[in-house]
Amino acid sequence: TGLTTFDPGFNSTAACASAITYIDGDAGILRYRGIPIEQLAERSSFLEVSYLLIYGELPTQAQLDTFTSNISRHTLLHEDLKNFFDGFPRDAHPMPVLSSAVSALSTFYQDSLDPFDDDAVELSTVRLMAKVFTIAAYAYKKSVGQPFLYPDNSLGLVENFLRLTFGFPAEPYEIDPVMAKAVDTLLILHADHEQNCSTSTVRLVGSSQANLFASISAGVNALFGPLHGGANQAVLEMLSRIKDVEDGNVDAFVDRVKNKEQGAKLMGFGHRVYKNYDPRAKIVKQNADEVLKALGVSDPLLDIAMKLEEKALADEYFIERKLYPNVDFYTGVIYRAMGFPTRMFTVLFALGRLPGWIAHWREMISDPQTKIGRPRQLYTGPTERNYVDMSDR
């Protein structure tokens, strides 16, 4: 058959070469283009990190200014695209609304679809970086039945997003700098993670030479699953259940997970690559405490999360499987303190991952080694048998 390996889930198969992100899962190291995540989270900004991921180098001030102003000029959605949101039920989850609207960008911006035209790819990149934030805010507005606002391009990308999300037309919206900074940092932490499920999806779809919008829309759908980006929502639901239904009994919950009762998992724990503390989770945990204090919020779910972590890290089940908190374990508590409903958490992950997806798609499309992604299989069905006429079955 010409097959040399059988590797379900790609545990040990590299599908591409990439110069974007480095992870050492045993040591808990993450670097974007060589720069440690800790330095970027503390000193950079989301747009600067996006530039770094997409173009490979930190921008000069002039380059960053141009990138930023190009993006802010594209934040408006075509008026007809806004009608699109009316077609969804009021209680629609914002993730499929987001992926559908991103997919629809291919119909509104047909002048930037050619994957081999550098100017077109550049235009699609800027359009996505701007419009996905507006789409995400409108998905939220739709879900709470509130009117859409037009973007205010005198604001930065994150500030604009917060205003579009939480503001009202004709009312001033005061941006809380603590919240804006915290969102910016969380976006940096989510910006890339090499060949995770959604990024691999973007690359696979793009390998057929599908356009950037189509490929990113597929990535959003991959991210929605609870084992991937959907875990941040699942963590908060788990913490709420422990608090409200199980009287805060962390020990009993951990026992159920260890006994694999009804497939129970400790959501926000474990990772395919990290067999050590996820470096992003370390930063998020520090931030959670600080941000909640600064916002004047105290949340019993944060205490439950810390108890769960302490209990799990001391338990043989988790120790022998090298299960540590991942990036999703503490993010939900911060998003909740900011006032985001649980259903928006994975959308926030998507906003952060956007530059990573774009960077990978661009690397894939310009790599002469790229071939259409086409895994093989081990066939396990029947060997040859004859067709049986309906009357003889």
74 binds ligand CMC (CB under 6 A): no
Nearer to ligand CMC, 122 or 194 (CB): 194
CA distance 193 to 185: 15
Stretch that binds ligand CMC, among 111-119, 138-146, 239-247, 320-328 (CB under 6 A): 320-328
Binding string, residues 3-22; x marks residues near ligand CMC by CB under 6 A: ------x-------------
Q: What 3-state class would DSSP assign to 23?
A: strand
CA distance 207 to 72: 30
CA distance 87 to 72: 27
Residues 183/191, Cβ–Cβ less than 8 Å: no
CA distance 102 to 91: 19
Q: Which amino acid is at 85?
A: F
- Out of 82, 181, 256, 265, point to the residue binding ligand CMC (CB under 6 A): 265
Stretch that binds ligand CMC, among 20-28, 162-170, 261-269, 377-385 (CB under 6 A): 261-269
115 binds ligand CMC (CB under 6 A): no
99-133 b/e with 16+ CB inside 10 Å = b? Answer: bbbbbbbbebbeebbebeeeebbebbbbbbbbbbb
Nearer to ligand CMC, 142 or 228 (CB): 228
- Out of 40, 132, 242, 267, point to the residue binding ligand CMC (CB under 6 A): 267
Is 271 noted as a catalytic residue in this protein? yes
Residues 271/278, Cβ–Cβ less than 8 Å: yes
* Choice among 184, 192, 278, 328 that is catalytic: 328
346 binds ligand CMC (CB under 6 A): no
256 binds ligand CMC (CB under 6 A): no
For the range 108-113, what are the long-range contacts, defined as Cβ-Cβ under 8 Å and sequence gap of 24 or more? 108/78, 108/80, 108/81, 109/213, 113/211, 113/212, 113/213
311 binds ligand CMC (CB under 6 A): no
* Choice among 74, 271, 278, 360 that is catalytic: 271
Choose among 276, 273, 255, 272: nearest CA to 264. 255
- Out of 326, 335, 351, 361, point to the residue binding ligand CMC (CB under 6 A): 326
Sheet of 21-24: strand order equals: 21-24, 29-32, 35-36
Choose among 370, 378, 347: nearest CA to 205. 370
Tell which positions 225-244 bind ligand CMC, by CB under 6 A.
Answer: 227-229, 231
113 binds ligand CMC (CB under 6 A): no
Stretch that binds ligand CMC, among 24-32, 151-159, 270-278, 364-372 (CB under 6 A): 270-278
Min CB(272)–ligand CMC separation in Å: 4
Q: What is the CA radius of gyration of the chain?
A: 22
321 binds ligand CMC (CB under 6 A): yes
| Minimal CB distance residue for ligand CMC | 270
203 binds ligand CMC (CB under 6 A): no
271 binds ligand CMC (CB under 6 A): yes
269 binds ligand CMC (CB under 6 A): yes
CA distance 185 to 179: 10
78 binds ligand CMC (CB under 6 A): no
Stretch that binds ligand CMC, among 80-88, 288-296, 321-329, 337-345 (CB under 6 A): 321-329
Residues 333/236, Cβ–Cβ less than 8 Å: yes
According to DSSP, residue 36 is labeled: E
Min CB(265)–ligand CMC separation in Å: 4
Min CB(349)–ligand CMC separation in Å: 7
- Out of 327, 334, 337, 364, point to the residue binding ligand CMC (CB under 6 A): 327
Min CB(22)–ligand CMC separation in Å: 17
Min CB(30)–ligand CMC separation in Å: 12
323 binds ligand CMC (CB under 6 A): yes
Residues 237/336, Cβ–Cβ less than 8 Å: no
Please classify residue 328 by burial: count the beta carbons closer than 10 Å to its beta carbon, then call 0-12 exposed, 13-18 middle and 19+ buried: buried
Binding-site ranges for ligand CMC (CB under 6 A):
9, 196, 227-229, 231, 257, 265-272, 321, 323, 326-328
State the catalytic residues: 271, 328
